[in-house]
Amino acid sequence: MVDILEGIRIVSFTHFLFGPMGIQTLADLGADVIAIEPLNGSWQRNWGAEGNKMVDGQSVLFLSVDRNKRSIAIDLKSPKGYEITNKIIASSDVLATNYRSGVLDKLGFGYEVLKKDNPGLIYAAATGYGPDGPYVKRPGQDLLIQAMSGLAAITGPPDSGPRNVGVSAVDHHGAALLALGIVSALFRKERTGKGSRVDVDLLASAIDLQMETFVCFLNGPRPESVVPPKWIGGWHYEAPYGIYATKDGHIAISLTSLKVLGEALSSPEVAAFDDADNYKKREEIAPLIAKIIATKTTAEWGENFDKHNIWYSPVNDYAAVADDPQVRHKGCFIPITGSTGSPITLVTHPIRYDGEVPEIRLPPQPLGAQTAEILEEIGYSRKEIADFEKQGIIICHHHN
């Protein structure tokens, strides 16, 4: 059992993908995460992508980001809801939020207020653009950030123009940085006793995701364009690096000598190019490679490339990924029984600790599943809890 963060309590005011995913990483590591939700549930419970896809009424987004968390539903705007929330925060090591800047301050849960009574609190705020600046009130959403940060510009080919990455790549990277920031602050607190505010934003996360290409762009002569040529996998890469259509699919070819590739392709024309020219002449070289690659199947080229020690990979669709022998060996997808009793499949925690992957202690929980449990832990009686529920201050999930 991986319990690295056992004994750490995190109170989570998070919704959508960025915040919940980052906090799920810490929940996987054994932190007691209390997800405080509005009475109608957090946004991710109600949006499922692909035609609002649901499993027994549970959205696939919710299933993606809310495992290993306890759920409590509270009316934060009511005086009693404020009192309850304050008690939960007082018992926590970390407060995490990706609400818009200023929302928690208006509710009375801003960092400057809370740290007076709890100087050891780690207050982690995940936002679109940071806590201040000219964009602070703009909506921070993955697609918008991909566009603003240059990620879309360097992804689309010349014939179709800018294109976003096919997943919420900035949300995912930002979530990892949020988890890293919180763990770093916890480490400092362990050494010094000091709490801190941690700020992570999507714009900085998107730029960090492009560190290599920005450093390349900002130093030395700048290219005329950051749009990648057709077939080439990025504006700063040389031929043959990119993806090519085969007779029955696609294949990715990584960095390799053009002489060696020319031999594998049985193409004296490709082999004749000097490796020093593979960037300057890439728009000449790539079409030659593409024409030859189209004449054989992916498997045939794979066998050929293996013989020549060329780095390559078939381009898998999702069905092929799920059946991939290495993916199966690593157990990247795990089938479990969900909280409704139906089978669900989740993506496992991506890191091993002493050879172990953190277990799923709790599948994503129904709204308010642990409301009564959490309130009893902070001192409320069962009668008080029942009264709060009657008054509409909280929601308790009652198992059938």
Q: What is the pLDDT along the chain (400 residues), one digit of tens a residue?
A: 789 999 999 999 999 999 999 999 999 999 999 999 999 999 999 998 888 999 999 999 999 999 999 999 999 999 999 999 999 999 999 999 999 999 999 999 999 999 999 999 999 999 999 999 999 999 999 999 999 999 999 999 888 899 999 999 999 999 999 999 999 999 999 999 999 999 999 999 999 999 999 999 999 999 999 999 999 999 999 999 999 999 999 999 999 999 999 999 999 999 999 999 899 999 999 999 999 999 999 999 999 999 999 999 999 999 999 999 999 999 999 999 999 999 999 999 999 999 999 999 999 999 999 999 999 999 999 999 999 999 999 999 987 6
Residue with tokens 């919180």: 182
Helix/strand/coil for 93: coil
Which among 101, 110, 109, 91 has a CA at the least distance from the CA of 32?
Answer: 91
Rounded to 5 degrees, what angle do the CA atoms 174, 180, 185 make? 125
pLDDT at position 264: 98
- Helix segments in 159-281, DSSP class H: 169-192, 202-209, 211-218, 258-264, 268-271
User: Containing H/E element for 149?
Assistant: helix 142-149
Question: Are the C-beta atoms of 96 and 121 separated by less than 8 Å?
Answer: no
The pTM of the full predicted model, rounded to 2 decimals, is: 0.96
Which among 342, 347, 343, 395 has a CA at the least distance from the CA of 371?
Answer: 395
pLDDT at position 400: 66
CA 44 to chain centre: 14
Which residues, including other chains, have CB under 8 Å from residue 263's CB and lie 6 or more apart? Answer: 271, 308
Number of C-alpha atoms within 13 angstroms, CB side, residue 170? 29
Question: Are the C-beta atoms of 11 and 36 separated by less than 8 Å?
Answer: yes
What are the angstrom distances between the C-alpha of 3 and each of 183, 192, 295?
14, 22, 53
Domain 9-209+353-395 is classified in which CATH homologous superfamily?
Crotonobetainyl-coa:carnitine coa-transferase; domain 1 (3.40.50.10540)
Sketch the domain layout of the chain as residue ranges.
9-209+353-395
Residue with tokens 């969900």: 338
Rounded to 5 degrees, what angle do the CA atoms 394, 396, 399 make? 170
Distance between CA atoms of 169 and 176, rounded to whole angstroms? Answer: 11
Residue with tokens 């002449």: 281
Helix/strand/coil for 231: coil
Rg (CA), the chain: 25
Give burial (CB, 10 Å; 0-12/13-18/19+) of 328.
exposed
Which residues, including other chains, have CB under 8 Å from residue 333's CB and lie 6 or more apart? Answer: 322, 327, 345, 346, 347, 348
